[in-house]
Chain A
């Protein structure tokens, strides 16, 4: 595993760049643990100070240090993405593996539902969800709902892999040796789909963060938990761009863009690594 990472780092520029970006993002998130200010207090520093020492990224109109605010925000945003990705991964794995292995009518039913979830427009539904929940809308609830809506694409991918695994000899051997379906899927097939699941997880994190930022910017989430979208929401509420407080908007946007590109590049590098054809092309064979 370490050797793979080292090789990828050496031969794959996208991977190296992606990891570097994510390291910066992760570093900023980790710094929130040593923040001198609690995240929700306002007017702890002089407002509207441009980037300078000791306020590295300036301060906002609510009297918060943009750097420390940013470190809390990116931590929550990352945690949100991870949580959505983990829960939706479980759904995608179970549905994809079962549909691919069992085939027949189970497959048809599951994939019809799957294709429906691919097609249903999520944003209006999430907005409606916020509309009826209002103040009872919590961070964890939103993550669960999004996980419940965001598994379809990967379930289809996993299913297509599981279908080919079913015809392999080792599957027949396990069937004849009396393994239960659950154990075959968990112990025999699961390791085979793991690499592709890892790469789609990264894309799923991006998808979740993107939607969360969008909802938060509109004020359609729990605005008291600092997130990247929440920061932009407050900046817009204080018309930061018109007032010339550009650092309140530019730094969160830059950091979240680095997050998106970082995850995406690592996912692409993983995909390329999984597909031996493109690996050969890279080495020029």
Chain B
């Protein structure tokens, strides 16, 4: 598909707006069209222990309705919901009162974004590199073995892989920290010991994400490359005496890169889901742990906030990859 860059840009921006719009609407619909009233749930939880006077309960109900944006008709609530999204204000968290939900999210987000981007980058580039080699040298024993491992790990969900790693490195052979984002008794300063601790704590979560993610890129790249090597221009280049390394890099893998970047944009949300789950497994202090904590603590605003922020974050990441896409596919720029 040939199109000019501005037209491409506009289309991707439109898609971004649509994703945020539909995603936030799903969140609104789910949180409002259910038979369960979050206000009554919170009231029930709060009054579970000890007697509370009826006046106090009525007062509590009133302030919770305001807090959750459940005042007025459905359209009014809808408008309030979008207003809150626009200014990123999800009200105070109930379980960490009076800290606003946005503060909790801002505190957790760097951990998630760091884990998400680094694990994606490593598994994508390593998977593509190995997959490209495996497609170009189909007879190599080592690469075939790598293919078998990738094929076995690829279909297993993140939770199971993370859980098995947790058991292996937590109980069977305890050499790596299995919980938290850094050593608890260390002061949070930007020095070598703290950074090293953060790195050590990120090893198992990142490893789980990479192990699962690698296979998809490996298998995809291998089949792309094994189709491209039969193309005429590759055969001509070989006959013309171009060095094999150059053929592999500039003739074969360069052309297989474009669909893999599209694939990356399409799997951003799957990887995000993986990060959220893995964080929970390893008690990593990111959005995933925050989300599960919110559910267990019955914190309505917190769960709603994390879900909304997740949608926007994933949409932004997809947009970023889409904007980089013309770098690997020059046809987009051509007029």
* Nearest B-chain residue to A271, judged by Cβ: B223
Question: Assuming A214-B277, A218-B292, A253-B163, is B269 touching A118 (CB within 8 A)?
Answer: yes
For residue A1, CB closer than 8 A to chain B, the reply is no
A123 and B167 contact, CB distance less than 8 A: no
B307 and A264 contact, CB distance less than 8 A: no
Question: Assuming A113-B22, A127-B303, A241-B171, is B27 touching A118 (CB within 8 A)?
Answer: no
Option from B41, B223, B280 in Cβ contact (under 8 Å) with A218 = B280
When distances are taken between beta carbons in the complex, the residues of chain A under 8 Å from B104 are none
Option from B19, B156, B159 in Cβ contact (under 8 Å) with A120 = B19
In chain A, residues 210-255, which have Cβ atoms closer than 8 Å to a Cβ of chain B? 210-211, 213-214, 217-218, 220, 232, 241-242, 249, 253
For residue B157, CB closer than 8 A to chain A, the reply is yes
For residue A257, CB closer than 8 A to chain B, the reply is yes
For residue A131, CB closer than 8 A to chain B, the reply is yes
Cα–Cα distance between A128 and B23 once the two chains are bound (Å) = 13
Option from B31, B158, B277 in Cβ contact (under 8 Å) with A132 = B31
When distances are taken between beta carbons in the complex, the residues of chain B under 8 Å from A122 are 269, 273
Number of interface residues of A (CB under 8 A): 50
Query: Hey, which bits of chain A sit against chain B, CB under 8 A?
Result: 14, 112-113, 115-125, 127-134, 136, 153, 203, 206, 209-211, 213-214, 217-218, 220, 232, 241-242, 249, 253, 256-257, 260-261, 263-265, 268, 277-278, 281
When distances are taken between beta carbons in the complex, the residues of chain A under 8 Å from B155 are 203, 206, 260-261, 263-264
A-B contact pairs, 22 of them (CB 8 A): A14-B151, A112-B18, A116-B18, A116-B22, A119-B19, A120-B22, A121-B269, A124-B311, A125-B23, A125-B311, A127-B291, A127-B292, A127-B307, A131-B295, A132-B36, A132-B38, A134-B36, A210-B156, A213-B159, A241-B170, A264-B151, A268-B151
B26 and A260 contact, CB distance less than 8 A: no
When distances are taken between beta carbons in the complex, the residues of chain A under 8 Å from B223 are 278
Interface size class of B (residues with CB under 8 A): 35 or more
For residue B115, CB closer than 8 A to chain A, the reply is no
Kindly list 11 other residue pairs between chains A and B, CB separation below 8 angstroms, not including A210-B157, A253-B160: A116-B18, A116-B22, A119-B318, A124-B307, A128-B307, A132-B38, A134-B36, A136-B34, A213-B159, A241-B167, A264-B155
Question: Assuming A128-B30, A206-B155, A277-B227, is B160 touching A256 (CB within 8 A)?
Answer: yes
For residue B154, CB closer than 8 A to chain A, the reply is yes
* Nearest B-chain residue to A212, judged by Cβ: B157
* Nearest B-chain residue to A263, judged by Cβ: B155
Question: Assuming A122-B273, A214-B277, A218-B280, is B151 touching A265 (CB within 8 A)?
Answer: yes
A213 and B27 contact, CB distance less than 8 A: no
